[in-house]
Amino acid sequence: MNNVPAASYPSLYSSVISVAAHEGHDPFTYYYNPEPPVEFGAPGIDVNVAWLNKSTIVSTGNSFAAPHMTGIAALIRGKHPDLTPFQVKTVLFACATNARRVQSGRTHAR
């Protein structure tokens, strides 16, 4: 997704996993968002980022959240290489930190 609250391409394509940043630093904690256009939220706020001369900076943006979801999707595909994009999204939804609450209708993503 863009870093602005508006729908964007390619995130609107069904074969793409759309991700926005949320607070948190655990790379395996991510949330499903039941309210489109963003499907998932992953760590991307106040992220330590490698920088020039072996230093780091703290930055924020959806571009930092996307690699978290990409890595989780890669782990899923590594174990189940024949999954389609839709099936990967289904597994991501089922494993989201808030999946049980979303399924029961008790909460929204952060």
Judge whether 12 lies within some domain: no
Is residue 29 assigned to a domain? yes
Residue 71 tokens read as 């890595």
Report the mean per-residue pLDDT for the chain: 87
Name the burial class of residue 79, with classes exposed (0-12), middle (13-18) and buried (19+) by CB atoms within 10 angstroms of its CB: exposed
Expressed as residue numbers, the domain containing 26 is: 19-104
Report the alpha-carbon distance of residue 82 to residue 28 in Å, rounded: 22
Contact indicator for 55, 35 with CB cutoff of 8 Å: no
Q: Is residue 46 a part of any domain in this protein?
A: yes
> What is the pTM for the complete model shown?
0.81
Per-residue DSSP letter, 53: G
Please report whether residue 5 resides in a domain.
no
Instruction: Tell me the torsion sign for CA atoms 37, 43, 48, 52.
Output: negative
Residue 79 lies in a domain: yes
- Predicted confidence (pLDDT) at residue 102 exceeds the cutoff of 80: no
- Look at the chain and report how many structural domains it folds into: 1
Tens-digit pLDDT profile for residues 21-75: 999 889 899 999 888 788 999 999 999 999 999 999 999 998 899 999 999 999 9
